[in-house]
Amino acid sequence: MMDYEITAEETKKLLDSGKSFTLLDVREPWEIETACITGAKLIPMGDIPSRAHQELNPENHIVVYCHHGVRSLNVVAWLRQQGFEEAQSMQGGIDAWSRSVDGTVPLY
Protein backbone atom coordinates (compact mmCIF):
# COMPACT_ATOMS: atom_id res chain seq x y z
CA MET A 1 0.00 0.00 0.00
CA MET A 2 1.18 3.55 -0.75
CA ASP A 3 2.41 5.83 2.03
CA TYR A 4 -0.15 8.30 3.31
CA GLU A 5 2.16 11.20 2.47
CA ILE A 6 4.26 12.34 -0.48
CA THR A 7 6.71 15.27 -0.47
CA ALA A 8 6.33 18.41 -2.56
CA GLU A 9 9.48 17.43 -4.47
CA GLU A 10 8.08 13.96 -5.24
CA THR A 11 4.83 15.56 -6.40
CA LYS A 12 6.79 17.84 -8.75
CA LYS A 13 8.63 14.80 -10.19
CA LEU A 14 5.26 13.11 -10.71
CA LEU A 15 3.94 16.18 -12.57
CA ASP A 16 7.08 16.37 -14.70
CA SER A 17 6.93 12.64 -15.54
CA GLY A 18 3.63 13.05 -17.37
CA LYS A 19 2.09 10.13 -15.45
CA SER A 20 -1.64 10.34 -15.05
CA PHE A 21 -2.79 11.33 -11.56
CA THR A 22 -5.16 13.80 -9.93
CA LEU A 23 -3.73 16.77 -8.05
CA LEU A 24 -6.50 17.72 -5.63
CA ASP A 25 -6.61 21.06 -3.79
CA VAL A 26 -8.92 20.93 -0.75
CA ARG A 27 -8.46 24.57 0.32
CA GLU A 28 -11.13 27.25 0.22
CA PRO A 29 -11.71 29.38 -2.91
CA TRP A 30 -10.16 32.50 -1.30
CA GLU A 31 -6.97 30.50 -0.68
CA ILE A 32 -6.83 29.45 -4.35
CA GLU A 33 -7.01 33.12 -5.35
CA THR A 34 -3.95 33.76 -3.15
CA ALA A 35 -1.80 30.81 -4.29
CA CYS A 36 -2.35 27.76 -6.47
CA ILE A 37 -0.67 24.99 -8.43
CA THR A 38 -1.63 25.02 -12.11
CA GLY A 39 -3.75 22.05 -13.14
CA ALA A 40 -5.05 21.17 -9.69
CA LYS A 41 -8.70 20.21 -9.20
CA LEU A 42 -10.47 22.21 -6.48
CA ILE A 43 -12.84 20.49 -4.10
CA PRO A 44 -12.91 22.29 -0.73
CA MET A 45 -12.54 19.90 2.22
CA GLY A 46 -16.15 20.41 3.32
CA ASP A 47 -17.40 19.34 -0.11
CA ILE A 48 -15.37 16.12 -0.33
CA PRO A 49 -18.03 13.78 1.14
CA SER A 50 -20.70 14.98 -1.33
CA ARG A 51 -18.45 15.24 -4.42
CA ALA A 52 -15.68 12.63 -4.13
CA HIS A 53 -17.59 9.68 -5.57
CA GLN A 54 -18.94 11.77 -8.47
CA GLU A 55 -15.72 13.61 -9.40
CA LEU A 56 -12.82 11.35 -8.39
CA ASN A 57 -11.85 7.90 -9.65
CA PRO A 58 -11.00 5.48 -6.81
CA GLU A 59 -8.62 3.66 -9.19
CA ASN A 60 -6.48 6.77 -9.80
CA HIS A 61 -3.48 8.04 -7.89
CA ILE A 62 -4.67 11.19 -6.09
CA VAL A 63 -2.31 13.69 -4.46
CA VAL A 64 -4.22 15.93 -2.07
CA TYR A 65 -2.90 19.24 -0.76
CA CYS A 66 -3.98 22.14 1.42
CA HIS A 67 -2.09 24.99 3.12
CA HIS A 68 0.20 23.06 5.51
CA GLY A 69 -0.85 19.41 5.10
CA VAL A 70 -3.32 18.93 7.96
CA ARG A 71 -6.61 19.13 6.04
CA SER A 72 -5.18 17.08 3.18
CA LEU A 73 -4.09 14.30 5.54
CA ASN A 74 -7.61 14.21 7.01
CA VAL A 75 -9.10 14.06 3.51
CA VAL A 76 -6.71 11.24 2.53
CA ALA A 77 -7.71 9.25 5.64
CA TRP A 78 -11.38 9.66 4.69
CA LEU A 79 -10.75 8.84 1.00
CA ARG A 80 -8.85 5.68 1.95
CA GLN A 81 -11.80 4.57 4.12
CA GLN A 82 -13.97 5.04 1.02
CA GLY A 83 -11.75 2.79 -1.11
CA PHE A 84 -9.47 5.40 -2.70
CA GLU A 85 -6.37 3.33 -1.93
CA GLU A 86 -3.93 5.47 -3.93
CA ALA A 87 -4.72 8.78 -2.22
CA GLN A 88 -1.75 10.60 -0.69
CA SER A 89 -1.33 13.90 1.14
CA MET A 90 1.35 16.34 -0.01
CA GLN A 91 3.41 16.84 3.14
CA GLY A 92 3.62 20.50 4.17
CA GLY A 93 0.97 21.56 1.64
CA ILE A 94 1.29 24.48 -0.74
CA ASP A 95 3.53 26.16 1.83
CA ALA A 96 6.16 23.43 1.27
CA TRP A 97 5.58 23.67 -2.50
CA SER A 98 6.30 27.42 -2.38
CA ARG A 99 9.43 26.96 -0.26
CA SER A 100 11.02 23.97 -2.02
CA VAL A 101 9.56 23.63 -5.54
CA ASP A 102 8.20 26.91 -6.92
CA GLY A 103 9.16 30.18 -5.24
CA THR A 104 6.80 32.11 -7.51
CA VAL A 105 3.81 30.64 -5.62
CA PRO A 106 3.05 33.19 -2.87
CA LEU A 107 3.34 32.25 0.80
CA TYR A 108 0.40 33.20 2.98
45, 48, 63, 66: the catalytic one is: 66
Q: Which of 14, 32, 35, 16 is nearest to 90 (CA)?
A: 14
Query: What is the pairing mode between strands 87-90 and 62-65?
Result: parallel
- Whether 36 sits among the annotated catalytic residues: the reply is no
Homologous superfamily (CATH) of 5-100 is: Rhodanese-like domain (3.40.250.10)
Model confidence at 99, in pLDDT bands (50, 70, 90)? very high
Kindly report, residue by residue over 15-60, the tens digit of the pLDDT: 999 999 999 999 999 999 999 999 999 999 999 999 999 999 999 9
3-class secondary structure, 16: helix
| Domain boundaries, given as residue ranges, for the chain | 5-100
